[in-house]
Amino acid sequence: MEQASYPTVILGGGFAGLFTALHLSHQNDSHPIILIEQRDRFSFKPLLYELLSGELHSEQVYPRYKELLAGSRVTFVQDTVKSIDLHQRRVIVASGKVFDYSNLVLALGSRTTYFNTPGAAEYAMPFTSGEEAIALRKHLRNRLHLAIQTQDPKRRRLLLSVAIIGAGPAGIELACTLADLLPIWYDELGGDADEVRVVLVNRSREILKGDVNSHLRCTAQRALKRRVIPVDFLFDAAVTKIQADGVEYRQHDQTRVLQAGTIAWTAGTSPNPLLMELPILVERRDKRGRLMVTPTLQLPDFPEVFASGDCATDSDNPQPPTAQVAYQHGRAIAHNLKHIREGKPAIPVQIQMRGTLMKLGLNESVANLFNKVQIKGQPGHFIREATYLELLPNRAHNRKVTTEWLTDELFQRHRPFSHMQLGQTPWLSGVATLAAGLILATPLIWRAATPMQFQQTLGWTGLPMLLDQLATPSR
């Protein structure tokens, strides 16, 4: 077969890979597209907290690829990539199948790293996929059920203590969510909610250090203290070992142990190990091992290969590893592949970093618009969820999910926290929030349902452009 007639093969169906595939599929072209992904469901990572808490259900934030890709030109292969031969232009998967390609898109994301901390891989629970969010939920439920049956107060305290390692955005969002959620779950079982403890463990004194959200530090710090049970901080603590029921750490030259029945790990990621096996020189990688790409997202020595999302870095224009960047990479790669097939030059990618969003508890978020305005509390929560739901990959799926979400918000259906109130919303403020929700959600639904009409009718107001800019927020 002629090399050019081989398919475009995309490895990894996260934000970068899935969106490359969907954008390619929308092009007026018949070139075959193969997406190879190890899982059967897409994890919408920014909304994993909602999957854990039950605020959103799995069809909304953990949909099957089969559903997302229905009606598209993408051939979905559920398998694990085992080796990539850049010279032979060939990929081999676990089942033994071989895929030759004309173009390859590397979108394999990153992995949790435990920095060789003894016991971490065995006893700490990662939080990076739908599967892991569901596993953490089951584990926490189990701990609460055991606690309610336990007479020994010391043992009960251990079962009810959660340690979260890492005070980056994921650690903070998880801590805020659990500090609202666990007291409610425990109260529903008949337990004393005040016995629940959530501890945020961090190597340095600073939270959100070096993160795109670092300017939200004060807001996050305040939110951590204002949960149903305030989050405890254990800072300047270098974790040295994870045990079945505790975290050993070094602080002020002393070794101590924090007893905890649940240990969640959000402290670090490293590039996918398959990238390390590629014949790419160290000079063509950053210090974490991510692949350096040209401004058009191609590998300098293998221009038929694109790298994207958490796998890639452009040394002239480095970007944080976020969904917003991965999503834009996907769109740009699809565009450049089209150009290449038409014999035109590939175009450098312009990444636009927009506002940031953080979940700071149940029904509470901060939306940081263009780094200028912070919208907090329930209105922030509406903006965050509506913005993310609008970003969901497939338009039919998106419309269904957005409508379900709005119904849930307005009529409080599927709420996981019915009888213990979260900061009891006064009646008037509830009405105001509802009104804000309606005002915010209506254009989003209209835009999702009939984008052309929305653009034509409201183009003059600047709202479509504002929503476009908000539609791909970072962490």
Ligand X SMILES: Cc1cc2nc3c(=O)[nH]c(=O)nc-3n(C[C@H](O)[C@H](O)[C@H](O)COP(=O)(O)OP(=O)(O)OC[C@H]3O[C@@H](n4cnc5c(N)ncnc54)[C@H](O)[C@@H]3O)c2cc1C
Q: Please report, as ranges, the residues that interact with ligand X according to CB under 6 A.
A: 12-17, 36-39, 45-46, 48, 80-81, 107-109, 127-128, 170, 272, 274, 309-311, 321-324, 326, 474-475
Looking at the Cβ atoms of 38 and 251, the one nearer to ligand X is: 38
Taking the complex as a whole, the smallest distance from the CB of residue 343 to ligand X amounts, in Å, to: 29
Taking the complex as a whole, the smallest distance from the CB of residue 126 to ligand X amounts, in Å, to: 8
What distance lies between CA 294 and its chain's CA centroid? 26
How many other CB atoms are there within 10 angstroms of residue 12's CB atom?
27
Looking at the Cβ atoms of 41 and 89, the one nearer to ligand X is: 41
Looking at the Cβ atoms of 353 and 434, the one nearer to ligand X is: 353
Taking the complex as a whole, the smallest distance from the CB of residue 145 to ligand X amounts, in Å, to: 25
Taking the complex as a whole, the smallest distance from the CB of residue 322 to ligand X amounts, in Å, to: 3
Looking at the Cβ atoms of 17 and 63, the one nearer to ligand X is: 17
C-alpha span between 406 and 423 (Å, rounded): 21
Looking at the Cβ atoms of 309 and 437, the one nearer to ligand X is: 309
Taking the complex as a whole, the smallest distance from the CB of residue 474 to ligand X amounts, in Å, to: 4
C-alpha span between 221 and 218 (Å, rounded): 5
How many other CB atoms are there within 10 angstroms of residue 142's CB atom?
13
Taking the complex as a whole, the smallest distance from the CB of residue 106 to ligand X amounts, in Å, to: 9
Answer positive or negative: Cα dihedral of 81, 84, 89, 90: negative
Q: What are the DSSP calls for 186-219, one per residue? A: HHHTT--GGG-EEEEE-SSS-TTTTSTTGGGHHH
Token representation of residue 229: 């049970």
Taking the complex as a whole, the smallest distance from the CB of residue 224 to ligand X amounts, in Å, to: 17
Looking at the Cβ atoms of 158 and 375, the one nearer to ligand X is: 375
Taking the complex as a whole, the smallest distance from the CB of residue 79 to ligand X amounts, in Å, to: 7
Looking at the Cβ atoms of 370 and 457, the one nearer to ligand X is: 370
What distance lies between CA 111 and its chain's CA centroid? 13
C-alpha span between 457 and 461 (Å, rounded): 9
Looking at the Cβ atoms of 324 and 363, the one nearer to ligand X is: 324
Looking at the Cβ atoms of 39 and 139, the one nearer to ligand X is: 39
Alpha carbons within 13 A on the beta-carbon side of 56 = 32
Residue closest to ligand X (Cβ): 14
Q: Is 136 helix (H, G, I), strand (E, B) or coil?
A: helix
Looking at the Cβ atoms of 14 and 289, the one nearer to ligand X is: 14
SS (H, E, C) 404-428: HHHHHHHHCCCCCCCCCCCCCCCHH
Inter-axis angle of helices 463-470 and 377-391, nearest 10 = 80
Taking the complex as a whole, the smallest distance from the CB of residue 429 to ligand X amounts, in Å, to: 26
Q: Is 267 helix (H, G, I), strand (E, B) or coil?
A: coil
Taking the complex as a whole, the smallest distance from the CB of residue 455 to ligand X amounts, in Å, to: 25
As to burial, measured by CB atoms within 10 angstroms (0-12 exposed, 13-18 middle, 19+ buried), residue 240 is middle
In angstroms, the Cα distances linking 38 to 79, 94, 108, 319 are 5, 10, 10, 26
Q: What are the DSSP calls for 303-329, one per residue? A: EEEEE-GGGEE-TTS---S-HHHHHHH
